[in-house]
């Protein structure tokens, strides 16, 4: 939204300047136009970032990554209820609602699942104003509602050519009980047969750090998950470079 | 240890600012989904003491806190060391995902911050910050804490009200979400030194099994707490 309105603003300013120029050459120009000092045309500036996300887990594919530039707000907080956009991502791996959130200046989705041991580099750019924050979110797909990522990291101190690396821990959206039943796990552990998003909130409805999956091998007899699906923190390694 | 002492010495020599009194706003957040924290103890103290040290045996005072949530012994230790103390900022249990904020004015020489609280339901698990050097530069500092095992009691995971030092069992599960009739996970505490907690096991049988804990509720992964310190 913001990007569109900025473009429109730039276009209308450019046409105003062109018009003013014409008027100036016209002998019939009125004094009022002559008095106006045209503002210098804004020089288009692009701020670009490369975000490389590596999956550190043994057998938890990550849903298509959402990479978001924004100027304010955050996408989750411990103890708060998850937004419905975050709930959709955390339960089903679908990042489209989060990328369409009103906070988003510019959002970019990864191309597909990031399998364990794999990584993907996603580029995201924004014109006109320096984006204040970067957020990243993805679901651990062999879980009920686990997600991981970066929540509103300040970009202000990142100069062109610099990069920053960090690892992330995993969160529980609190919107779906961690039953680990085959019918509730959307990832390959259930053969993809399990349900993803369901608007019912049958858990604590508060975001917390994730306690990890239990699995059938570690004492939850009704779980479709095995020892292979267990994970520990951290779950992602992320490197962010500012390229322009 | 030698290196640390030398570094401390250098830092002291470099700036007398380090020993100045400071005014801190401290926020502790419970990051877990199913664990409660008993009354929290916060102290700013000098470099001659610590509330706990990993790899060393727990003091009797730490054992009281880790097994039963009783911070009076550790608080007395802090008082004896002329520390600046905040007891029980949450005025009771700090429930899962909740935060508590308190102010702490430090006096000259109390340059280190320590925080402890027992984790319920566990046998002798606690969250801990040991002697974090308080920055002299004003600003907001955020970091996370891990879960430790005091090494003083076997992690039998049986909830029987046993909170006194040396008494087996877990005092309570404040969430009211635990089971009964567990046979006990283990009778041994082979590592009697303070170590990173290996986590609770729990089971899926709330009427029996090995553990009274629910394995979908009472487990956790580190980190388990977040601390934000605003140095004013």
The tens digit of pLDDT for each residue in B67-84 reads 999 999 999 999 999 999
Which of B98, B215, B220 lies nearest to residue A79, judging by beta carbons? B98
Query: Is B141 a residue whose pLDDT tops 60?
Result: yes
- Residue A55 phi/psi, 5° resolution? -85, 115
Other CB atoms within a 10 A radius of the CB of residue B56 amount to 12
Percent of chain B with pLDDT over 70: 92
Q: Does the distance separating the beta carbons of B98 and A169 come in below 8 Å?
A: no
Q: Where are the alpha helices (DSSP H) in chain B?
A: 2-14, 60-68, 72-80
Q: Does the distance separating the beta carbons of A207 and B97 come in below 8 Å?
A: yes
What pLDDT is attached to residue A226? 97
Q: What is the mean pLDDT of residues B102-110?
A: 96
Q: Kindly state whether A204 is in contact with chain B, defined as any CB-CB distance less than 8 angstroms.
A: yes
**Which of B28, B31, B33, B227 to mutate: most A Cβ within 10 Å?**
B33
What pLDDT is attached to residue A26? 42
Q: Which chain A residues have a beta carbon less than 8 Å from that of B223?
A: 169, 209, 233
Q: Closest approach of chain B CAs to the CA of A225, in angstroms?
A: 13
Q: Which chain B residues have a beta carbon less than 8 Å from that of A79?
A: 29, 97-99
What pLDDT is attached to residue A35? 61
What pLDDT is attached to residue A40? 74
Which tokens is B27 given? 């926020």
Q: Give the number of A-B residue pairs with CB atoms closer than 8 Å.
A: 68
Distance CA A21, CA A5 (A): 24
List, for residues B174-185, the tens digit of each pLDDT value: 999 999 999 999
The DSSP letter of residue B50 is -
Distance CA B136, CA B23 (A): 11
Distance CA B214, CA A212 (A): 13
Q: What is the mean pLDDT of residues B115-131?
A: 98
**Residue B84: alpha-carbon gap to chain centroid:** 17
CA closest to A175 among chain B residues: B33
Q: Which chain B residues have a beta carbon less than 8 Å from that of A221?
A: 204
Q: Which segments in chain A show pLDDT lower than 70?
A: 1-36
Distance CA B228, CA B28 (A): 7
Query: Which residue, A136, A139, A140, is CA-closest to A150?
Result: A136
Burial of A91 (0-12, 13-18, 19+ CB in 10 A): buried
* Strand, helix or coil for residue B204: coil
What pLDDT is attached to residue A7? 40
Distance CA B216, CA A18 (A): 67
| Residues A238, A150 contacting (CB under 8 angstroms) | yes
Q: Which chain A residues have a beta carbon less than 8 Å from that of B99?
A: 78-79
What is the enclosing helix (H) or strand (E) of B82? none
| Residues B78, B46 contacting (CB under 8 angstroms) | no
Q: Which residues of A23-62 are buried (b: 16+ CB within 10 A; e: fewer)?
A: eeeeeeeeeeeeeeeeeeeeeeeebebbbebbbbbebbbb
**Mean of per-residue pLDDT scores for chain B:** 93
Q: Closest approach of chain B CAs to the CA of A209, in angstroms?
A: 5
Which of A208, A214, A221 lies nearest to residue B96, judging by beta carbons? A208
* Strand, helix or coil for residue B67: helix
| Residues B130, B52 contacting (CB under 8 angstroms) | yes
Q: What is the mean pLDDT of residues B137-166?
A: 96
- Residue B148 phi/psi, 5° resolution? -115, 155
HEC states along chain A? CHHHHHHHHHHHHHHHHHHHHHHHHCCCCCHHHHHCCCCCCCCCCEEEEEEEEEECCCCCCECCCEEEEECCCCCCCCCCCCCHHHHHHHHHCCCHHHHCCCCEEEEEECCCCECCCCEEEEEEEEECCCCCEEEEEEEECCCCCEEEEEEEEECCCCCCCCEEEEEECEEECCCCCCCCCHHHCCCHHHCCCCCCCCCCCCCCCCCEECCCCCCHHHCCCCCCCCHHHCCCCCCEEEEEEECC
List, for residues A127-151, the tens digit of each pLDDT value: 989 999 999 999 999 999 999 999 9
Q: Does the distance separating the beta carbons of B221 and A209 come in below 8 Å?
A: yes
DSSP character string of B152-199: SS-----BSS--STT--SB---TTS---S----S-S-----S-EE---
| Residues B138, B224 contacting (CB under 8 angstroms) | no
Sequence-ordered list of residues with C-beta below 8 angstroms from that of A171, at least 6 positions apart, any chain: A76, A90, A146, A147, A148, A207, A208, A209, A210
What pLDDT is attached to residue A2? 41
What pLDDT is attached to residue A34? 54
CA closest to A206 among chain B residues: B97
Reported as a pLDDT band with limits 50, 70 and 90, residue B20 is: confident
ipTM of the complex: 0.88
């Amino acid at each position: 939204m913001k990007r569109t309105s900025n473009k429109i603003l730039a276009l209308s300013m450019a046409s105003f300047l062109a018009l003013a120029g014409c008027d100036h050459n016209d002998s019939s120009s009125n004094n009022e136009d002559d008095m106006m000092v045209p503002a210098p045309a804004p020089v288009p500036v692009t701020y670009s970032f490369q975000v490389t996300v590596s999956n550190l887990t043994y057998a938890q594919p990550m849903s298509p990554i959402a990479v978001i530039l924004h100027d304010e707000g955050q996408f989750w907080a411990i103890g708060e209820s998850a937004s419905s956009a975050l709930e959709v991502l955390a339960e089903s791996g679908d990042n489209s609602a989060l990328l369409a959130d009103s906070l988003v200046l510019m959002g970019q989705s990864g191309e597909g699942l990031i399998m364990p041991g794999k990584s993907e580099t996603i580029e995201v750019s924004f014109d006109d104003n320096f984006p204040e924050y970067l957020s990243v979110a993805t679901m651990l797909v062999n879980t009920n509602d686990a997600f991981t990522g970066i929540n509103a990291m300040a970009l202000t101190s990142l100069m062109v050519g610099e990069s920053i690396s960090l690892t992330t821990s995993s969160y529980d959206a609190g919107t779906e009980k961690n039953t680990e039943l085959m019918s509730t796990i959307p990832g390959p552990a259930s053969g993809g047969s399990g349900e993803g998003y369901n608007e019912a909130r049958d858990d604590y409805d508060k975001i917390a750090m994730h306690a990890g999956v239990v699995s059938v091998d570690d004492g939850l007899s009704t779980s479709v998950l095995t020892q292979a699906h267990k994970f520990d923190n951290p779950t992602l390694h992320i490197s962010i470079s500012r390229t322009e | 240890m030698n290196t640390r002492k030398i570094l401390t010495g250098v830092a002291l020599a470099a700036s007398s600012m380090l020993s100045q009194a400071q005014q801190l706003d401290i926020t502790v957040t419970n990051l877990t989904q199913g664990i409660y924290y008993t009354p929290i103890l916060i102290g700013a103290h000098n470099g001659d003491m610590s509330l706990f040290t990993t790899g060393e045996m727990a003091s009797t005072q730490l054992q009281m806190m880790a097994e039963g949530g009783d911070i009076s012994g550790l608080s007395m230790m802090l008082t004896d060391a002329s520390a600046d103390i905040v007891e029980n900022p949450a005025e009771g249990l700090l429930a899962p995902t909740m935060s508590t904020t308190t102010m702490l004015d430090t006096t000259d020489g109390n340059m280190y911050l320590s925080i402890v609280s027992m984790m319920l339901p566990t046998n002798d698990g606690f969250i801990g910050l040991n002697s974090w050097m308080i920055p002299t530069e004003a600003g907001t500092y955020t970091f996370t804490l891990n879960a430790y095992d005091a090494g003083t009691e076997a992690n039998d995971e049986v909830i029987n009200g046993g909170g006194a030092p040396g008494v087996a069992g877990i005092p309570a599960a404040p969430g009211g979400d635990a089971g009964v009739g567990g046979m006990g996970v283990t009778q041994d505490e082979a590592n009697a030194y303070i170590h990173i907690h290996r986590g609770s096991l729990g089971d899926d049988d709330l009427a029996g099994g090995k553990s009274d804990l629910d394995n979908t509720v009472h487990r956790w992964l580190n980190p388990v707490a977040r601390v934000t310190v605003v140095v004013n």
